[in-house]
Amino acid sequence: MQKIGFAEALDTIVAGDNRFHRDAYVFLRDALDYTTKQQKKARGAAVRHVAGPELLEGVRLYALKEFGPMVQTVFSYWGINRCEDVGHMVFNLIGAGIFGKTEQDSLDDFKAVYSFHEAFVKPYLPEALQPVSPLPPILPAPKVL
């Protein structure tokens, strides 16, 4: 069996499941690369497998790095609105032979790992305003004679 390339696999995936933009899959592949590099730095050894929650943390960090406060806007445009969407994309890539999986991997690994609002919006909200001291009491207007 001849192995197909990433671009051809994306053509097949997007033709069969149009929930997610093609660019979302490219981002996901890049986020996996980012995650494995970060894990290699932390562990000092090559990473052979990334579990769902680990990948989601890598997606979060890489998205914040790449898109900053625009993450939620970009993800929404791509059709990614919750952690489970990333899981569906991962399993589409597994089905196309691009990503691998172990017997323990499942879509459940991606369920509600974090809230997109907490992960992508909250870091950019302004800090709570400092309490403002009350204004001095209002004085009566001077009497005009």
Longest dimension (CA), the chain: 102
Residues in Cβ contact with 52 at an 8 Å cutoff, skipping those fewer than 6 apart? 87, 90, 105, 106, 109, 110, 113
Radius of gyration, CA atoms only, the chain: 23
Mean of the per-residue pLDDT values of the chain? 91
pTM of the model: 0.82
Summary count for the chain: helices (H), strands (E): 6, 0
d(CA 62, CA 31): 6
pLDDT at 74 over 60: yes
CB atoms within 10 A of CB 57: 19
Using pLDDT thresholds of 50, 70 and 90, give the confidence band for residue 128: confident
Average pLDDT score over residue span 105-127: 93
- Closest-CA residue to 71 (of 102, 11, 110, 115): 115
Domain boundaries, the chain: 6-124
pLDDT digits (tens, 9 = 90+) for 78-106: 999 999 999 999 999 999 999 999 999 99
Q: How far apart are CA 18 and CA 8, in angstroms?
A: 15
Length of the chain (residues): 145
User: Cα–Cα distance between 30 and 16 in angstroms, integer?
Assistant: 22
In whole angstroms, what is the distance from residue 61 CA to residue 66 CA? Answer: 9
Is residue 116 predicted with pLDDT exceeding 80? Answer: yes
